[in-house]
Amino acid sequence: MPMKISGFDEHTVRVNGLDLHVASGGEGPPLLLLHGFPQTHLAWRHVAPALAGRFRVICPDLPGYGASAKPEGGHEQYAKRVTAATMVALMRQLGHERFGLVGHDRGALVAFRAALDHPDDVDHLGVIDVIPTVDMWESLAGVGGVFGFHLYFLAQLDDLPERMIGADPDTFFGHFLDTWAEAGTFDAEVREAYLAATRDPATIHAICQDYRASAFADAAHDDEDRRAGRRVKVPTLAIWQDPGDLVLPFDPSAVWHGWASDVRTLTLPGGHFLPETQPDAVTAAISSLIG
On whether the CB atoms of residues 34 and 111 are closer than 8 A, the answer is yes
CA-to-CA separations, 120 to 92, 101, 221, in angstroms, rounded: 12, 13, 19
On whether the CB atoms of residues 59 and 5 are closer than 8 A, the answer is yes
124 has catalytic annotation:
no
For residue 23, give the H/E element and its range. Answer: strand 18-25
On whether the CB atoms of residues 110 and 62 are closer than 8 A, the answer is yes
Beta strands at 99-104 and 30-34: parallel, antiparallel or unpaired: parallel
- Report which of 226, 219, 210 is spatially closest to residue 105, judged by C-alpha positions: 210
Return d(Cα 43, Cα 37) in angstroms, integer: 10
Say which of 75, 96, 105, 225 is annotated catalytic: 105
105 has catalytic annotation:
yes
Say which of 46, 75, 104, 272 is annotated catalytic: 272
Active site residues: 105, 272
